[in-house]
Amino acid sequence: MSNPIVHVDLGERAYDIVIEAGALADIGTRCVDLFGAGKRVLMVSDANVAKFYVSGTEALLLRAGFQVSVIVLPAGESTKCVARLAEIWEEAVEARLDRKSFIVALGGGVIGDLAGFAAASFLRGIPFVQVPTSLLAMVDSAVGGKTGMNLPQGKNLVGAFHQPQMVLSDLSVLATLPARELHAGMAEVIKYGVIWDPEMFSFIESHVAEIKALDSEALHYLVKRSCEIKADVVRQDEREGGLRAILNFGHTLGHAIENVCGYGEWLHGEAIAMGMVYAAKISEVAHGFKADETDRLIALFKAFDLPVSWQGLEWGALYQAMTADKKAENALPKFVLAKEMGKVGLPEEVGMELLKKVYDDGA
Ligand code: NAD
Ligand code: GLY
């Protein structure tokens, strides 16, 4: 198997992403190398993930000489809230965490974002390790240092940039991830193909069955390549002053769909799959993106049972949500648009007539 490490080159905030089936077995020794033995550690997880991985991971950390506390929160997006954050802070006080202690976020993007924000804020910032267990978390949320939580008024309204000390992605944990979640994660992987890497896009087209069957070489290639791309983007623009915004391809309509339908009806990856088709169709008109390429995108999403059509979603509500999005300036929604497969531009405003026409034409 090829090199398991992707280095995120951020100077004094640099860290490694370890991508390997079985990587979790080394968590104790890797954390000793990073933090020194004997430190206090608070592991945060959710109830679904805990069923499979909490006691084993706790045992590994104890065996490595750490003083371990554990908090298990309910699974789901609603956990990313101030009340659950306060529970983590309280547990951190109870466990007597100090500035040399660290947090381990063992779970999907919900746990990674919330535990990461707890680490960013407790004692004005303590170190943390991301152990992503969903495909989406492995290829996106665990990498790049965005942490945060939701308010009743909207998603991710409170947060901080706080890079982890390590990301430990054990591909074998994907065996217990529900297929629908795996496919939603694939939407983000496919996104990297469209914005950056047409070769990876072609690879996915020709390996759908292997990916669905969790073929370890295919998964290793996809997770590693996605992390390399995200690491490259984040290295160039850690705080989203410019380039990092290309990671939002498909997200303008995607966020609007999540907003209008309520979080829970569509998974994030499903919403952005629809959003990417919408953005590709706008790109055809605005930048001459080839209709054949949009067709490839639609076919690939369908192969992973992802939705591609916004039919049935009401235009007025979607448009209002798109203009209310925090990325919209002057009330005109902004979109990352594709020029060709593997190449996109920075977000740009798109006029209402074109947006409505593409909406009416459908997918
Ligand atoms: P999630 O954390 O809710 O995980 C999805 C579901 O899968 C949950 O029910 C979880 O319990 C379960 N699960 C996770 N791993 C499992 C495993 N190995 N076995 C069995 N069940 C498992 O959702 P997600 O899709 O991982 O992440 C979505 C969150 O990530 C959102 O809150 C989103 O805002 C955030 N996000 C953050 C960033 C970022 O840059 N920080 C980027 C993208 C998304
Ligand atoms: N998920 C987008 C980002 O990390 O910037």
pLDDT digits (tens, 9 = 90+) for 118-173: 999 999 999 999 999 999 999 999 999 999 999 988 889 999 999 999 999 999 99
Structure tokens at 273: 């799959």
Residue 244 sits in which domain range? 179-361
Query: Which of 175, 208, 241 lies at the terminal end of a domain, its last residue?
Result: 175
| Residues 196, 179: Cα–Cα separation, whole Å | 26
Given the CA of residue 143, which atom of ligand 2 is nearest to it? 4
Three-state DSSP at 240 gives: coil
Closest CA to 184 of 81, 274, 76: 274
- For residues 238-264, average pLDDT: 93
Q: What are phi and psi of 42, to 5 degrees?
A: -110, 120
Q: Is residue 15 within 8 Å of 167, Cβ to Cβ?
A: yes
- Element (DSSP H or E) covering residue 155: strand 154-161
Q: Is the pLDDT of residue 3 over 60?
A: yes
CA–centroid distance, 134 to ligand 1, in Å, is 6
Left if phi > 0, otherwise alpha if psi is -120 to 50, otherwise beta: which for 284? alpha
Residue 188 Cα: closest atom of ligand 2: 1
**CA-based nearest residue to 43, from 130, 137, 122:** 130
Say if residue 346 is in the same domain as residue 212: yes
Neighbours of 185 (CB within 10 A): 29
Dump pLDDT digits (tens) for 106-122: 999 999 999 999 999 99
Instruction: Give Cβ neighbours of residue 311 (< 8 Å, ≥ 6 apart).
Output: 362, 363
Does residue 144's CB lie within 6 angstroms of at least one atom of ligand 1? yes
Residue nearest to atom 43 of ligand 1 (CA): 141
Structure tokens at 97: 């965490």
With 0-12 / 13-18 / 19 or more C-beta atoms within 10 angstroms meaning exposed / middle / buried, residue 180 is: middle
From the number of C-beta atoms within 10 Å of its C-beta (0-12, 13-18, 19+), residue 207 rates as middle
Residue 242 shares a structural domain with residue 267 = yes
Q: Is the CB of 146 under 6 A from ligand 2?
A: yes
Identify whether residues 99 and 191 lie together within a single domain: no
Last residue of a domain, one of 175, 191, 222: 175
Of 113, 155, 169, 257, the residue with max ligand 1 atoms within 8 A of its CB, to mutate for a pocket test, comes to 113
Residue 58's CATH number:
3.40.50.1970
CA–centroid distance, 106 to ligand 1, in Å, is 10
- 268 catalytically annotated: yes
State whether 326 and 234 are in the same domain: yes
Known catalytic membership, residue 240: yes
Give the residue carrying structure tokens 């991508």: 19
Q: Please check the confidence at residue 331 and state whether its pLDDT lies above 80.
A: no
Rounded mean pLDDT of the chain? 96
The C-alpha atoms of residue 200 and residue 196 are separated, in whole angstroms, by: 9
Shared domain for 273 and 353, answered yes or no, is yes
Q: From CA 282, how far away is CA 358, in angstroms rounded? A: 7
Give the Cα separation of 153 and 165 in Å (integer). 31
- For 209-221, b/e burial (b = at least 16 CB within 10 A) is eebbebeeebbbb
Same domain, 139 and 267: no
The rounded Å distance from CA 313 to ligand 2 centre is 26
Residue 356 clears pLDDT 60, i.e. is over it: yes
Q: Do both 219 and 139 map to the same domain?
A: no
Q: Is 268 in the pocket of ligand 1 (CB under 6 A)?
A: yes
Secondary structure element (H or E) that encloses residue 15, with its range: strand 15-20
Pocket of ligand 2 contains residue 140 by CB under 6 Å:
yes
pLDDT at 223: 98
Count structural domains, the chain: 2
| Proximal ligand: closest to the CA of 238 | 2
Based on the fold, state whether residues 128 and 232 are members of the same structural domain.
no
Quick one: 163 and 189 in the same domain?
no
- Predicted pLDDT of residue 330: 64
pLDDT digits (tens, 9 = 90+) for 63-85: 999 999 999 999 999 999 999 99
User: What separation in angstroms does the CA of 316 have from each of 107, 267, 273, 319, 352?
Assistant: 36, 22, 20, 5, 11
At residue 136, φ and ψ (nearest 5 deg) are -60, -40
Q: Decide if 6 contacts 17 (C-beta within 8 A).
A: yes
CATH number of the domain that 198 lies in?
A: 1.20.1090.10
Q: Are residues 216 and 86 in the same domain?
A: no
pLDDT of residue 5: 97
CA atoms within 13 A on the CB side of 263: 15
CA distance 143 to 159: 15
77, 87, 210, 240: the catalytic one is 240
Domain-ending residue, one of 127, 158, 175: 175
Task: Please tell me the predicted confidence (pLDDT) of residue 329.
Answer: 56
User: Is the C-alpha dihedral spanning 205, 209, 210, 214 positive or negative?
Assistant: positive
pLDDT in tens, 207-228: 999 999 999 999 999 999 999 9
Instruction: Please state the rounded mean pLDDT for residues 343-348.
Output: 98
Q: Is any ligand 1 atom within 6 A of the Cβ of residue 244?
A: no
pTM exceeds 0.95: yes
Is 39 catalytic? The answer is: no
Reference 106, options 72, 84, 130; nearest CA is: 130
Q: For residue 315, how far is its CA from the centre of ligand 1 (angstroms)?
A: 28
Taking 80 as the threshold, does the pLDDT of residue 328 lie above it?
no
- Give the Cα separation of 328 and 347 in Å (integer): 10
Ligand 1 centroid, distance to 260 Cα (angstroms): 20
User: Is the domain of 187 the same as that of 332?
Assistant: yes
Is the domain of 10 the same as that of 34? Answer: yes
Q: Which of 81, 84, 110, 247 to mutate to test the pocket of ligand 1 (most atoms within 8 A of CB)?
A: 110
From 135, 140, 272, 276, mutation site for ligand 2 pocket: most ligand atoms within 8 A of C-beta: 140
Residue nearest to ligand 1 atom 37, measured at CA: 141
